């Protein structure tokens, strides 16, 4: 453990801890746009610059590890001036459309603009104009709102291992693009959407369904597979309008395409809400008790007439481990057969 002093407060942190992490442990806020605790440090937004005693120039707190006895100051007139200038520069090349932006209220750039009180922009000038051209049903890319923080590029490479997108062009024209600037055609896991600090990346199906302040959060577990990823459903007017995941969960906040975007069945009018029993060629709604009684009786009849091995059970990868365990136990102990299998074994 090493000792660091940040803004006069002393703390002890393990070796290798960055100044930013140490400051956060002390509840000292340092603004960032390109930092993510689970991704490699980048140092591109320049907002997290802090002054370190003995250093001639400010350093990026997101990348510099704290050293023993280090004395750090996170806010000085110089640092605040630099932060304001850089936020102003970002906004000078950003559409001024918070009024209709999906991300409003949940946007780091908007928050910073508010805290730094930026109204007039000293640097107003040319803005990048890009056409939206993706046809996929999942990810909306509004590259005019991109601040080149590179979080999407890093999450795609470091977490997904896919590298579907990267930087292209130089300077003011630098841009995040899929290979050869074709339309985005990836796994659509949406991790990039999850880490984007602005409205550059959003879910296509989210648009105009409700912004962050309008929704109610309900935590649940994904029903797509046995991984059991934790989901947070965002609900407005009793309708799921988008899905995310908290980063302190078993899946660390990461989701796949199904978990993140495959939620429309919840609101589908065709969705089954009760068991159905087929009578004379047509289904009718039934209660769970009635349906389970029917199945139990039929199984008993078959076993009595043909023996237990006339029955086989096939369970689903979408069930949890515990559910699958119970099902095989039921087949072996209650029904009395080893004819039990699972769809993922194929």
Partner 1 sequence: MGTGGIAAGGADVMDVFKKRLKEKGIQSEVKKHCSMHKVGCRGLCARDVLVDVIRYDVKTTYQFIKSDMVERIVEEHIVRGTPVAEWLVPEDYHHFHDKQVKVVLADCGMVDPEDIESYFGAGGYEALRKVLSGLTPEETIDVIKRSGLRGRGGAGFPTGLKWELTRKAAGNPKYVICNADEGDPGAFMDRSVIEGNPHAVIEGMIIAAHAIGSDHGYVYIRAEYPLAVERLRKALQQARHHNLLGENIIGTAMDFDIKVKLGAGAFVCGESTALMYSIEGKRGMPRVTPPRSTEAGLWKLPTCLNNVETLANVPSIIRNGAEWYASFGTEKSKGTKVFALTGKIKNSGLIEVPMGIPLRQIVYDIGGGIENDKAFKAVQMGGPSGGCIPVEHLDVPVDFESLTALGAMVGSGGLVVMDEDSCMVDVAKYFLHFTQSESCGKCTPCRIGTKRLLEILERITAGDGREGDIDLLLDLSADIKVSSLCGLGQSAPNPIITTIRYFREEFEAHVTGKKCPAKVCRKLLAYSIYEERCKGCGACVRVCPAGAITGEKKKPHVINPEICIKCGSCVEACKFKAIGRE
**Residues in the site for partner 1, rule: CB under 8 A?**
41-46, 49, 57-58, 60, 63-65, 78, 81-82, 85-86, 89-90, 92-93, 122-123, 125-126, 147-148, 150, 166-167, 169-174
> Minimum distance between the CB of residue 139 and partner 1, rounded to whole angstroms?
22
> Minimum distance between the CB of residue 47 and partner 1, rounded to whole angstroms?
8
Smaller CB separation from partner 1, 44 or 262: 44
d(CA 199, CA 344): 38
Smaller CB separation from partner 1, 126 or 289: 126
Smaller CB separation from partner 1, 107 or 215: 107
- Could you tell me which residues come within 8 angstroms of residue 61 by beta carbon, excluding any fewer than 6 positions away? 18, 19, 20, 23, 30, 48, 49, 50, 72, 74
Give which of 202, 116, 129, 156 is closest to 36, Cα–Cα.
156
Smaller CB separation from partner 1, 85 or 232: 85
Going along 182-339, which residue ranges are E strands?
A: 201-203, 216-221, 230-236, 239-244, 276-279, 282-285, 313-315
Smaller CB separation from partner 1, 114 or 167: 167
> Minimum distance between the CB of residue 126 and partner 1, rounded to whole angstroms?
7
Smaller CB separation from partner 1, 49 or 184: 49
> Minimum distance between the CB of residue 332 and partner 1, rounded to whole angstroms?
53
Contact in structure between 152 and 159 (CB atoms under 8 Å): no
> Minimum distance between the CB of residue 110 and partner 1, rounded to whole angstroms?
16
Q: Is the dihedral of CA 181, 184, 187, 193 positive or negative?
A: positive
> Minimum distance between the CB of residue 207 and partner 1, rounded to whole angstroms?
28
């Amino acid at each position: 453990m090493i000792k660091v002093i940040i803004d006069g407060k002393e703390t002890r942190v393990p070796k290798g801890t960055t100044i930013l992490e140490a400051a956060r442990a002390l509840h000292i806020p340092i603004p960032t746009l390109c930092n993510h605790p689970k991704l490699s440090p980048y140092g591109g937004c320049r907002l997290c610059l802090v002054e370190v005693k003995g250093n001639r120039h400010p350093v990026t707190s997101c990348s510099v590890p704290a050293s023993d006895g280090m004395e750090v100051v996170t806010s000085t007139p110089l640092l605040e001036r630099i932060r304001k200038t850089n936020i102003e520069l970002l906004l000078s090349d950003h559409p001024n459309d918070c009024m209709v932006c999906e991300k409003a209220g949940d946007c780091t750039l908007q928050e910073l603009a508010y805290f730094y009180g930026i109204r007039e922009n000293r640097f107003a000038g040319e803005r990048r104009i890009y056409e939206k051209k993706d046809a996929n049903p999942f990810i909306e890319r509004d590259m005019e709102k991109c601040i080149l923080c590179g979080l999407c590029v890093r999450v795609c490479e470091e977490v997904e291992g896919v590298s579907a997108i990267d930087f292209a062009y130089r300077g003011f024209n630098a841009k995040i693009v899929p290979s050869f600037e074709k339309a985005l055609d990836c796994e659509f896991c949406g991790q990039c959407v999850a880490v984007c600090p602005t409205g550059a990346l959003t879910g296509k199906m989210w648009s105009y369904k409700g912004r962050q302040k309008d929704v109610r959060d309900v935590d649940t577990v994904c029903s797509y597979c046995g991984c059991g990823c934790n989901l947070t459903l965002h609900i407005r007017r009793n309708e799921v309008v988008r899905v995310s995941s908290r980063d302190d969960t078993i899946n660390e906040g990461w989701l796949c395409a199904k978990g993140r975007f495959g939620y429309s069945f919840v609101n589908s009018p065709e969705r089954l809400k009760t068991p159905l029993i087929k009578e004379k060629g047509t289904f009718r709604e039934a209660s769970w008790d009635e349906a389970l009684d029917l199945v139990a009786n039929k199984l008993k009849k078959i076993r009595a007439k043909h023996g237990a091995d006339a029955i086989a059970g096939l369970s689903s990868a979408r069930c949890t481990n515990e559910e699958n365990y119970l099902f095989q136990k039921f087949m072996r102990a209650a029904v009395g057969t080893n004819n039990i299998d699972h769809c993922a074994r194929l």
